[in-house]
Amino acid sequence: MPLSQSVAGCLEARIGGAGLPQFTLDANLAKLEPRLASLREAYAKSTLPLLRVPEWRDDIAPAREALERLTRGARTLIFFGTGGSSLGGQTLAQLGGWGIPGDDKHGSAARPRTRFYDNLDACTLESALSGLDFDSTRFVVISKSGGTPETLVQAIAAIDDARKAGLAERIPELFLAVTEPKAKGVRNGLRALCENFGIPTLDHDPNIGGRFAGLTNVGLLPALARGLDVETLRAGARDVVRAMLDAKRAGNFDAAIGAAVTIGLAKERGVRASVLLPYADRLARFAAWYVQLWSESLGKKGEGMTAVAALGPVDQHSQLQLYLDGAPQHLVTVIREACEGRGPVLSRDLAKLAHADYLAGHSAGDLVAAQQRAIPEALIAQGRPVRTIDIETLDERALGALMMHFMLETILAAHLLGVDPFDQPAVESGKVLTRRYLAGAVAEATDGNPSAAARSRQSHRRR
């Protein structure tokens, strides 16, 4: 396994009254035994595709070939999508250098620069499209349902601008889409748009929700765009699934232990926030992906915890004060990569001149390594729960394992909370209301008074 987890800093034996008693941990692990059994059965019967994704190979060649065709002659590759249709891809792309200050080695004549537009902002979209050279720009549009309004706005605006640029005949060369297969009686706006313009489309598995789709072609396309080894990525995820299948008891499986500890602290010790604190720039978007995974999967029926994305060492200077000395309601998970001896070595004379003799002769990685040790120890000394996950090398195998670990941990946590990790009823209700307002159906909100509805829209525009 490329990961090593320790929950000692979460237990009563180590941090006192704020920690989880061993008997509570054991009880939670016992409650997870039937859920683990059902997951093993789902794997055997292939009824939960998520568990089989690490073994998939047939979708890799089509994704690679589609991307190669799309990017011929391209200098910029834009990904449109939101939520689970983007965060998983961003997580993988960042391992390949995307979004890392100063890391341009993956941008070359052979590989176009990568951009993600995941948040719909009218000004941003207008500025982005107006500044594009459409002749050398390509677009990947991702929406599982094909009806995500933000993504449709992006796609429609880009296609229209391509037409206005005199490139209508080349639209099939400029765009690629990922969405669910055609189904009888199901409306899919993105697929209809693509069929009309002859845009190539890859199928999104209809049985894998967006936030769990990072290891499918939703994430493979950005990963391939950044030159990552996607087979090794999936091999890392397979390591975790195999560990689940081989575990004799829940207490032998890290994801089950993580779920049992986290939910135990929430129920027994008033922990209300789960903070993910990786010490690597290349895991910044992973933390954001985790926030969606945890929040959207567990925040139901009055249950769930607030997920917080942090980044070390920078958030030692912006958040750590709260976790060490604020209200005792945070569980901090520190993800550490072995980094001793890496990076620039600091000259002794300059370190002395800067009154920092303790840095003399050390590398930048030595300082981060020391912080990775010190912060969990400081939290433990304050009686604050902290979990550590150690990685020897942050590569494709490790990232694949991390993603599968947290997907399974989330599914198991949902079992302890008694919620369905795969639906999102509150989000769907918001989508319905959004469509209703855009369609002008505001009469219900204004007691059926048409003039009142008109005034409501005008007032909103003025604001």
The CATH number given to whatever domain includes residue 165 is 3.40.50.10490
Shared-domain flag, residues 240 and 185: no
228's CB contacts (< 8 A; 6+ apart) are 92, 95, 96, 396
Strand partners, 330: 273
Question: Does a structural domain hold residue 436?
Answer: no
Residue type, 205: D
Q: What is the pLDDT of residues 22-67, one digit of tens each?
A: 999 999 999 999 999 999 999 999 999 999 999 999 999 999 999 9
Q: Cβ–Cβ contacts within 10 Å for residue 301, how many?
A: 11
Question: What's the rounded mean pLDDT across residues 187-196?
Answer: 96
Is 134 a residue whose pLDDT tops 60? yes
Question: Does a structural domain hold residue 434?
Answer: no
CA distance 141 to 218: 10
Question: What's the rounded mean pLDDT across residues 150-156?
Answer: 97
Q: What is the model's pLDDT at position 104? A: 60
**Residue 225: how many CA atoms within 13 Å on its side-chain side?**
33
Final residue before a domain boundary, out of 400, 417, 434: 417
Q: What is the model's pLDDT at position 445? A: 47
Q: pTM for the full model?
A: 0.92
CA distance 222 to 289: 15
**Residue 226: how many CA atoms within 13 Å on its side-chain side?**
27
CA distance 274 to 295: 10
Lookup result for tokens 């010790």: 269
Q: Which of 189, 267, 275, 262 is nearest to 411 (CA)?
A: 262
Shared-domain flag, residues 176 and 28: no
Residues with catalytic roles:
296, 317, 431
Judge whether 419 and 48 are in contact, CB under 8 Å: no
Strand partners, 335: 278, 389
Question: What's the rounded mean pLDDT across residues 270-292?
Answer: 97
CA distance 380 to 250: 25
Domain enclosing residue 150, as ranges: 53-228
Q: What is the model's pLDDT at position 105? A: 58
Counting the structural domains of the chain, the total is 2
Q: Lowest-pLDDT range, 121-130, 134-143, 419-428?
A: 419-428
Question: Does a structural domain hold residue 190?
Answer: yes
Shared-domain flag, residues 100 and 145: yes
Per-residue H/E/C for the chain: CCEEEECHHHEHHHHHHHCECHHHHHHHHHHHHHHHHHHHHHHHHCCCHHHCHHHCCCCHHHHHHHHHHHHCCCCEEEEECCHHHCHHHHHHHHHCCCCCCCCCCCCECCECEEEEECCCCHHHHHHHHHCCCHHHEEEEEECCCCCCHHHHHHHHHHHHHHHHCCCHHHHHHHEEEEECCCCCCCCCHHHHHHHHHCCCEEECCCCCCHHHCCCCHHHHHHHHHCCCCHHHHHHHHHHHHHHHHHCCCHHHCHHHHHHHHHHHHHHHHCCCEEEEEECCHHHHHHHHHHHHHHHHHHCCCCCCCEEEECCCCHHHCCCHHHHHHCCCCEEEEEEEECCCCCCCECCHHHHHHCCCHHHCCCEHHHHHHHHHHHHHHHHHHCCCCEEEEEECCCCHHHHHHHHHHHHHHHHHHHHHHCCCCCCCHHHHHHHHHHHHHHCCCCCHHHCCCHHHHHHHHHHHHHC
CA distance 239 to 399: 11
Q: Are strands 273-278 and 175-179 parallel, antiparallel or unpaired?
A: unpaired
Q: What is the pLDDT of residues 88-125, one digit of tens each?
A: 999 999 999 999 987 765 555 578 999 999 999 999 99
Shared-domain flag, residues 213 and 101: yes
Confidence band for 454, pLDDT divided at 50, 70 and 90: very low
Q: What is the model's pLDDT at position 210? A: 92
Shared-domain flag, residues 145 and 183: yes
CA distance 233 to 214: 11
CA distance 283 to 399: 9
Final residue before a domain boundary, out of 228, 252, 286: 228
Question: What's the rounded mean pLDDT across residues 395-424?
Answer: 97
CA distance 154 to 122: 10
Question: Does a structural domain hold residue 461?
Answer: no
**Percent of the chain with pLDDT strictly greater than 90:** 88
Average pLDDT, the chain: 92
Shared-domain flag, residues 174 and 84: yes
Question: Does a structural domain hold residue 44?
Answer: no
18 class by beta-carbon count within 10 Å (0-12 exposed, 13-18 middle, 19+ buried): middle
Q: What is the pLDDT of residues 175-184, one digit of tens each?
A: 999 999 999 9
Question: What's the rounded mean pLDDT across residues 190-209?
Answer: 96
Is 452 a residue whose pLDDT tops 50? no
Q: What is the pLDDT of residues 216-273, one digit of tens each?
A: 999 999 999 999 999 999 999 999 999 999 999 999 999 999 999 999 999 999 999 9
Question: Does a structural domain hold residue 446?
Answer: no
Final residue before a domain boundary, out of 228, 256, 290: 228
Shared-domain flag, residues 104 and 69: yes
Is 367 a residue whose pLDDT tops 70? yes
Q: What is the pLDDT of residues 314-346, one digit of tens each?
A: 999 999 999 999 999 999 999 999 999 999 999
Question: Does a structural domain hold residue 432?
Answer: no
CA distance 241 to 228: 21
Is 450 a residue whose pLDDT tops 50? no
Q: For residues 166 and 443, which has the higher predicted lDDT (pLDDT)?
A: 166
Judge whether 146 and 155 are in contact, CB under 8 Å: no
Shared-domain flag, residues 145 and 257: no
Q: What is the model's pLDDT at position 460? A: 40
Q: What is the model's pLDDT at position 290? A: 98
Shared-domain flag, residues 243 and 284: yes
Strand partners, 327: none
Question: Does a structural domain hold residue 277?
Answer: yes
Question: How far does the chain reach from its first CA to its final CA, in angstroms?
Answer: 54
Q: Which of 239, 184, 231 is nearest to 206 (CA)?
A: 184
CA distance 412 to 32: 7
Q: What is the model's pLDDT at position 441? A: 57
Shared-domain flag, residues 205 and 244: no
Shared-domain flag, residues 237 and 376: yes
Shared-domain flag, residues 396 and 352: yes
